Amino acid sequence: MTARLGRPVLSAVVMGYRNERTIVQSVRSLLEQTCDDPFEVLVVTSGGDRSAELVRERFPRTVVHDSPIRLSAGAARNVGVRLARGDVIAFLAADCLASSEWVARRIAAHRSGHQAVAGAVSHAGRDTPAARAALFTTFPSRLTTRPAGHADPSNVFGLSYARSLLERLGPFDEELGAGEDTLASRRLRSLGERAWFEPSIHAAHFGPENTWQMLRDQFRRGARRARWADLLNAIGPRRLRLERMRWPGAGVFTVGLIAAYEVRGRWQWTIGSALRWGRKRQVLSVLPWIVAAVLANEAGWAIAQLGPEGHARRQARQVAAQPNWGILRSLPAGGRIDRVALTFDDGPSPRTTPAILETLAAYGVRATFFMLGTQAERHPDLVARTAAAGHSIGNHTWSHAYLRYDERVLQAEINRASELLVQLSGRAVRHVRPPGGRLNPMILAWLVRQGFHAVLWSIDPRDWSRPGPAAIASHVLERVEPGSVIVLHESETDGAGTLAALPAIIDGILSRGYSLVPL
């Protein structure tokens, strides 16, 4: 059990995104492990469902980090790494169950000198032909029948890492929204490191059980592959294909050709790996399902390639290779004084903006205001006053719309708001904070192409949920560190608590020797 005292040897991070159905079982599979060494279980969830609540109810002593904005898998991993105290850090998806001795065997493998240890995948539900075929098709290199041994890091997954190795690897990619483990494995390989595959460490995955579920799952995986593979390759070593298509007919033809070619490659990979590492008779007995699964996957890929997002994706791929690609979550290191940024969203508002400006002026500090077009239109004088006081003006969209990739929506929400804010403030508006933190690589690439930086935050006291001034201030002051970007809100309803908390927040930050700067 985890009740052992002492510093944990291993930290197991459970990553959940809307996994209400399985997360409690997943966490329990770790908490009930037998292990002679101390280990800890951390849970990182986002997505706004009851996952975090369910875990807290059942396992009140488990550390749960629940993010109000949707975390990409990479961001969830990085949060887990920050919270982890162990020398080995392992990850488990919240739709998987850890096998018995998952922890102990990982610790043993790391102790015998392996820096990165990969595990196998099995099926958690009923054993049906579709479930087996899904396993062979999706995880052919991770079957429990594959013997233990060194493996090319870029074709094994489910890695646990020695902390020292993670420090060399750097953080997981947060911007692409997927493929963060693939990118980490490519870096692993470029460092000359190998992974150790250990089949006795396995995660039982709640995968599809009947043929229909299997086909749907494969179709989605194919579409996801189309969505991310281009981007992944843009920041990885490999670049490819479909650069430009002159005629729509040529596009269909090209995609069809590539799909056919891919079926061949995937076929060899899937069947080759399954036959190599699976039991031949088992693989052959579900052959028709495997054929259907590969075709469904390819169909999903082809349709996503031809869809309206295809163009945006190809452009995003070009932008992703540029140095200014990325999301600002905290201030880059630099300068002699440790800098912290205060940001205020949802204004300007006559109830809060003048009072905030007064407080900031009293302390002689500057901040950033992410303003809405609708509010700026109503209170143009406040935009001018804020800018005149030396604060930075950022763009929080025209109408607080949750962004999706649609050129017309982005024009109306981002460009329209920017034009007004530039006009009223007389200053350039470079920073965009998407409402709810909703971004995807296509939107991010669009923003970069328009010359904007996307800004999120590193500290969020959730003042909009009205926890009271004391709670807001202590949330911020407990977490503030060099480079922190703090998000506060001045919406009509909750400004009062934020306003009352502000002096304590500024006092606390300045008394630690940090300087407050606009973005």
Part in contact with Zn ion (CB under 5 A); list of ranges 114-122, 342-350, 414-422, 461-469: 342-350
To the nearest whole angstrom, how small is the minimum distance from the Cβ of residue 119 to Zn ion?
40
Part in contact with Zn ion (CB under 5 A); list of ranges 17-25, 86-94, 216-224, 343-351: 343-351
Determine which one of 95, 345, 346, 463 is catalytic.
345
To the nearest whole angstrom, how small is the minimum distance from the Cβ of residue 207 to Zn ion?
37
To the nearest whole angstrom, how small is the minimum distance from the Cβ of residue 293 to Zn ion?
42
Reduce the DSSP state of residue 51 to 3 states and report it.
helix
Q: Look up residue 137 and give its two tokens.
A: 């098709």
Range list of β-strands (E), 352-407: 368-371, 392-395
- By C-beta, is 181 or 346 nearer to Zn ion? 346
Residue 496: CB atoms within 10 A of its CB come to 16
Q: Look up residue 443 and give its two tokens.
A: 């939107």
In 3D space, the residue among 14, 189, 182 whose CA is nearest the CA of residue 98 turns out to be: 14
Residue 209 lies near Zn ion (rule: CB under 5 A): no
* C-alpha distances out from residue 288 to 134, 292, 295, 395, 443, Å: 12, 6, 11, 53, 40
* C-alpha distances out from residue 405 to 310, 352, 438, Å: 11, 32, 11
345 part of the active site: yes
Part in contact with Zn ion (CB under 5 A); list of ranges 214-222, 233-241, 277-285, 433-441: 433-441
# residues contacting Zn ion (CB under 5 A): 3
To the nearest whole angstrom, how small is the minimum distance from the Cβ of residue 345 to Zn ion?
4
CA distance 130 to 142: 17
Residue 494 lies near Zn ion (rule: CB under 5 A): no
**What are the φ and ψ backbone dihedral angles of 487, each rounded to 5 degrees?**
-105, 130
Residue 490 lies near Zn ion (rule: CB under 5 A): no
- By C-beta, is 69 or 304 nearer to Zn ion? 69
CA distance 518 to 128: 58
Q: Look up residue 478 and give its two tokens.
A: 């407990």
DSSP character string of 229-267: HHHHHHHSS---S----SSHHHHHHHHHHHHHHHHHHHH
- By C-beta, is 375 or 425 nearer to Zn ion? 375
Residue 298 lies near Zn ion (rule: CB under 5 A): no
Among 298, 346, 490, 494, the residue binding Zn ion under the rule CB under 5 A is: 346
Part in contact with Zn ion (CB under 5 A); list of ranges 130-138, 142-150, 341-349, 443-451: 341-349
Residue 181 lies near Zn ion (rule: CB under 5 A): no
Half-sphere exposure of residue 286, counting CA atoms within 13 Å on the CB side? 27
Helix (H) or strand (E) holding 515: strand 515-516
To the nearest whole angstrom, how small is the minimum distance from the Cβ of residue 445 to Zn ion?
22
- By C-beta, is 435 or 503 nearer to Zn ion? 435
To the nearest whole angstrom, how small is the minimum distance from the Cβ of residue 17 to Zn ion?
22
Among 175, 193, 345, 463, the residue binding Zn ion under the rule CB under 5 A is: 345
110 part of the active site: no
CB-closest chain residue to Zn ion: 345
- By C-beta, is 262 or 494 nearer to Zn ion? 494
Q: Look up residue 203 and give its two tokens.
A: 């995660």
To the nearest whole angstrom, how small is the minimum distance from the Cβ of residue 491 to Zn ion?
7
Per CB under 5 A, residues contacting Zn ion are 345-346, 435
Which residues participate in catalysis according to the annotation? 345, 489
